[in-house]
A and B are shown apart, each in its own frame.
Chain A
Amino acid sequence: MKGAFRQSMTWLHTWAGLVFCWILYFMFVTGTVGYGDSELDRWMKPEQPAPQRIGMGDAVTMAAAFLEREAPGADRWFITPSSDRNEPFLRVFWQYPQPAEGEEPVEPEDLRGSAEIDATTGDRMVEGRDTGGGQVLYRMHYILHYIDRDIAYRFIGVVTMLMFVGIISGIVVHKKIFKDFFTFRPSKGQRSWLDMHNLMSVSSLPFQLMITYSGLIFMVTTWMPGIALGSYGFDIKRAQDELSSIAGIVEFERSGNTAQLTALAPILVDAAERWGDDAVRNIEIRYPGDEASQVTINRREGIERSAAGLIYSGTTGEFMKERPPIPSASASVALTMLGLHEGLFAGPVLRWLYIFSGVLGTAMVATGAIYWTAKRKKTDGQPQGRGYRFVEALNVGTIMGLPTAIAAYFIANRLLPVEMASRADWEVHIMFLVWGALLLHPVLRPIQAAWREQAWLAAVAFAAVPLVNAATTSLHLVNTVSSGDWSLAAIDLSCIALAVSFAVVAAVLGKSPAETKVDAKAPIVDALDSAVNDETPVAA
């Protein structure tokens, strides 16, 4: 790194961006898909019924009866009534106490359980096919796959930091950031790729800054554990106690005397009087069936991932106290950033805006990677170096190959036998096998042909998703649209839109260079550019 500051920043932007751009692309694609994770979960489990909305009082009574049967003696019950896209069904979770000293140890997974409850029967929801659903795709954007979770998490931390460096250095190197705000000049070779990269980056800059910075906040304790722990003399117990105290959590013990759990419905009525309707997110019952039991009503979170709670006696239903949201300003900033990153609070419009911004981020990374090759392409007929060829092949195999692999993941969900062992794993294996093949394909083919062929393949793969869905389930587009189930219809419609987009790209790539070259007959574009680049003052 030498030369002037801006040149150094250009170098930094180029290489910080390039080195891990394919991983960044993977993170952006899977993260963007993750904004539809709950909808994908439903789409990938077609055996499950449509979301069930029942009254809060009925829901908690049904859930408490279920838990009495399934998890007596548990330390905690959590009841999450169905409310919105994040919680389409009534859901319960329970946790048993750790075995006392001298007792036989129990596997952690045997100490807890969870279930979705069918509101029509009060029993467990039909399980449906074994699938990773949208959650597996969503989790890939921060823990990847086939890699140890801790290693992947640390690696993603490095990549996210490089992304942040790339954004900041990109702002510095962009001399005409305001002048070029709306500029896109198509059919001008590398100039067009740079314009598109700039347009995608600048138009979505607040989102890209937020998503990257908040991504780093997620990893702050992974990468800088010493700072947090050092404040407590590296005493983990002390740190945990203080965090619990800040969060208003007071530990208490069982009394050992059994007592009937109070009716939960009147507690919810009281909570509604204090907070208003639809404010309850979930209900936690500590030591159910014990005289010391407590019921905590947790408030629905907004953008900030911290919310108040109301605490009641678990035997009399008497209101005890309110637990405020975390009062620390720094924690509030951090939790707001985390809430913004996850977007769980977003309704349909904002969720689509998140997806749109994610697509812009994905395209920003892709156009940056393509611009790198466009800028370095030799025009004098000399052969390109191995490094250049490697980047080109990775660009094709990742930018075109990964979306096709995700389409293959959806198709696998429909075509793999429902009773197949390790079915969910095989859905993911198929996705990565397809991606692996598509990474290999551009190595074996001329690069222009590889772009075109993979674009057509992506178009066919996405067009196949709604067709295979219609052939194998009753949740096809005609049924979902006619029943107004737009969250499921949106998945089929998005696949069709992607198929059309890739087909357009393939058609453009299929045109001969002479057909796509507009420069020769573009007098006004050139005249405009020269007029704008002309330093003479504007006419008075």
Chain B
Amino acid sequence: MGFIVTCLGAIALSVGMKRHYRQLFHSAEFTPRKKWVARFTGCALLTLGAYVSMAESGTGLGLTLYVGYLNVAVFGWALFLAWRVSRINNRAAP
């Protein structure tokens, strides 16, 4: 559960950034409201991810697990975003 919440937090945080918002929804408008809602949700979920990990496995072990979850979530999501852009580009290419 801690891992899932951390992944959702990483995704929400990236949606709050213009570059990644456009990578995901390239035609949609990126408004300040969307930006701050996504950033707040991302930060809240990342904090919740840490809490859930600690609740599941104890403070020390949970925190160590959380750092590992964060690595996987951020790196995996960044690769997904890069793959998505290349897919959009391949579709757009003549």
Contact = CB atoms under 8 A, between A and B. Distances in A.
Given A182-B77, A540-B32, A528 B22 contact: yes
B64 A521 contact: no
A524 B19 contact: no
A532 B89 contact: no
B17 interface: yes
Given A182-B20, A539-B31, A357 B64 contact: no
Given A186-B82, A340-B64, A525-B89, 14 more contacts: A182-B14, A182-B81, A183-B19, A186-B86, A203-B78, A204-B75, A303-B61, A303-B64, A356-B71, A357-B68, A528-B26, A529-B19, A532-B22, A538-B35
Contact of A184 (B67, B81, B94): B81
A524 B91 CA distance: 10
Interface residues of B, number: 40
B13 A181 contact: yes
Interface of B: 10, 13-14, 17-20, 22-23, 26, 29-32, 35, 60-61, 64-65, 67-72, 74-75, 77-79, 81-82, 85-86, 88-90, 92-94
Contacts of A182: 10, 14, 17, 20, 74, 77-78, 81
Nearest to A199: B78
Contact of B85 (A207, A353, A524): A524
14 contacts: A181-B13, A187-B86, A304-B60, A340-B64, A353-B69, A360-B75, A521-B93, A522-B93, A524-B88, A525-B86, A528-B22, A528-B23, A531-B19, A538-B32
A203 B6 CA distance: 13
A522 B89 contact: yes
Interface centre among A304, A354, A360, A532 (most CB of B within 10 A): A532
Contacts of B74: 181-182, 199, 202-203
B17 A538 contact: no
A489 to B, nearest CB: 21
A184 B82 contact: yes
A56 to B, nearest CB: 23
Contact of B78 (A179, A184, A353): A184
A174 to B, nearest CB: 15
Chain A facing B: main interface SS: helix
Contacts of A471: none
A524 B89 contact: yes
A154 interface: no
Nearest to A179: B17
Interface centre among A182, A340, A349, A354 (most CB of B within 10 A): A182
Contacts of A185: 82, 85
A518 interface: yes
A346 B67 CA distance: 13
B19 A345 contact: no
Interface string A187-230: 10000000000011011101100100000000000000000000
B72 to A, nearest CB: 6
A256 interface: no
A350 interface: yes
B29 to A, nearest CB: 5
Contact of B71 (A207, A340, A531): A207
A303 B60 contact: yes
B20 to A, nearest CB: 5
A3 interface: no
A353 B60 contact: no
A540 B33 CA distance: 8
B32 A354 contact: no
Given A353-B71, A357-B71, A538-B32, A532 B18 contact: yes
A187 B78 CA distance: 15
